[in-house]
């Protein structure tokens, strides 16, 4: 880690200013939608989650970087977030798995960060005002304010095209054939799917006809960044697949399924980003602690006007946001939270078993009750 102190500032679009010390890539003015994540660990997985494309991540946990970084914990091929904000970047890292420090990791990937920020004050602003555009760097505050106010944020923006794979690839082996749409898929999700069978990960623009031509046993829709309302072409293809083949969606995949059914999606004030959100499974009344990362959500009040029978299966106990849906009789379900939990608790991993049951043509009710 460099010992050279680079003073800088963070300015939000509402004019709020914060002093700090610049870390990561040098000579960069970082701009993006500023959000906060409440996880206590897993900072490398969070930074490498493609769902953060277009966003600057604020870590509410004060000490970041203390156990270093390694190649295994990266959740994607690159870093797609716009920047990182921390209170205290660890001067030393120590862990038997570590291969380097966070500062150098960010520098190598061209990602800027700022440390020494009063993240408690920043989080209170974001919690009260909702996610705000921001900018940080070595420039004066007036320049940073102008950059923040010029930032589009994630509303009305297609960010999936920036993170999806360029070409199909295959992971795992097994009798079940799974086609997984990559809208910004996390590596941990791919690992879970690969335990179920042979997984072919395909670009976001793959047509329904191309998917069905592969004769899959199941189709998976991944997490990803941005506004689901900007993905009409993808939504149209998914609408064709619903009912044709077993389908499971997570996060953005859940929202895409909702929109493919004709449901509305809404933007939450500051989203859900963290590893401790309580979710209730409405079919069992079981409470699960979940990992989450999303700014948009499916509006369950729109289910009543849909042509299909759709029911909400999970609900967030903090704010009643729809956390899951099922298309009754169509072998299609999805959740807003992350059952793969990289990082986070593993309370919801049974959902991958449920997907396997659907592909095998068996019911998951007995298996689910066991959990």
User: Is 173 designated active site?
Assistant: no
Q: Which of 191, 183, 205, 190 is nearest to 293 (CA)?
A: 183
How many CB atoms within 10 Å of residue 150?
Answer: 11
**What is the rounded distance in angstroms from the CA atom of residue 252 to the CA atom of residue 298?**
10
Catalytically annotated residue among 33, 192, 251, 322: 251
**Helical H runs in 156-298?**
160-163, 187-194, 208-213, 232-241, 252-261
Dig out the tokens for 263 from the structure.
């449901």
Residues paired with 89 in a beta bridge: 64
Name the DSSP class of 328.
Answer: T
**What is the rounded distance in angstroms from the CA atom of residue 132 to the CA atom of residue 28?**
19
Is the Cα torsion angle 163, 164, 169, 175 positive or negative in sign? positive
**What is the rounded distance in angstroms from the CA atom of residue 115 to the CA atom of residue 298?**
35
Place of tokens 């295994």: 72
User: Is 81 designated active site?
Assistant: no
Catalytically annotated residue among 192, 273, 294, 338: 338
For helices 252-261 and 232-241, the axis angle rounded to 10 degrees is 70
**What is the rounded distance in angstroms from the CA atom of residue 312 to the CA atom of residue 297?**
12
User: Is 338 designated active site?
Assistant: yes
- What three-state secondary structure class fits 368? helix
H or E, element range at 108: helix 102-108
**What is the rounded distance in angstroms from the CA atom of residue 68 to the CA atom of residue 311?**
43
Q: Which of 330, 346, 328 is nearest to 338 (CA)?
A: 346
ω before 77 within 30° of 0 (cis)? Answer: no
Name the DSSP class of 78.
Answer: S
Name the DSSP class of 245.
Answer: B
The catalytic residues are: 251, 338, 340
């Amino acid at each position: 880690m460099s010992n050279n102190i680079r003073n800088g500032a963070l300015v939000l679009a509402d004019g709020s200013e914060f002093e700090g010390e610049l870390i990561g890539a040098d000579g960069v003015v970082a701009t993006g939608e500023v959000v906060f994540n409440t996880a206590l660990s897993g900072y490398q997985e969070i930074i490498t989650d493609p769902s953060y494309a277009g966003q600057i991540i604020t870590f509410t946990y004060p000490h970041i970087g203390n156990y270093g970084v390694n190649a295994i914990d990266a959740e994607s091929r690159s870093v797609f977030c716009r920047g990182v904000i921390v209170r205290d970047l660890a001067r030393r890292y120590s862990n038997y798995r570590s291969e380097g420090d966070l500062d150098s990791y960010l520098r190598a990937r061209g990602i800027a960060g700022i440390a020494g920020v009063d993240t408690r004050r920043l989080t209170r602003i974001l919690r009260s005002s909702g996610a705000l555009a921001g900018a940080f760097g070595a420039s004066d505050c007036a320049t940073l304010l102008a950059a923040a106010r010029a930032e589009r944020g994630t509303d009305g923006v297609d960010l999936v095209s920036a993170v999806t794979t360029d070409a199909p690839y295959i992971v795992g082996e097994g009798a079940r054939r799974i086609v997984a749409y990559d809208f910004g898929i996390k590596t941990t999700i791919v690992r879970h799917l690969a335990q179920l069978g042979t997984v072919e990960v395909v670009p976001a623009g793959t047509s329904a006809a191309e998917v069905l031509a592969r004769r899959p046993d199941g189709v998976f829709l991944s997490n990803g960044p941005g506004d689901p309302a900007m993905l009409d072409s993808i939504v149209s293809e998914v609408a064709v697949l619903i009912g044709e083949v077993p389908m499971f969606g997570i996060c953005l995949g859940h929202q895409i399924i909702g929109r493919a059914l004709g449901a509305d999606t809404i933007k939450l004030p500051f989203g859900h980003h963290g590893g401790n959100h309580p979710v209730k499974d409405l079919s069992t009344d079981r409470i699960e602690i979940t990992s989450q990362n999303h700014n948009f959500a499916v509006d369950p009040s729109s289910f009543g006007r849909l042509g299909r029978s759709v029911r909400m299966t999970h609900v967030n106990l903090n704010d009643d946001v729809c956390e899951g849906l099922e298309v009754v009789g169509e072998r299609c379900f999805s959740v807003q939270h992350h059952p793969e939990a990289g990082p986070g608790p593993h309370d919801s991993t049974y959902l991958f078993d449920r997907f396997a049951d659907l592909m095998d043509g068996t019911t998951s009710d007995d298996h689910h009750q066991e959990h």
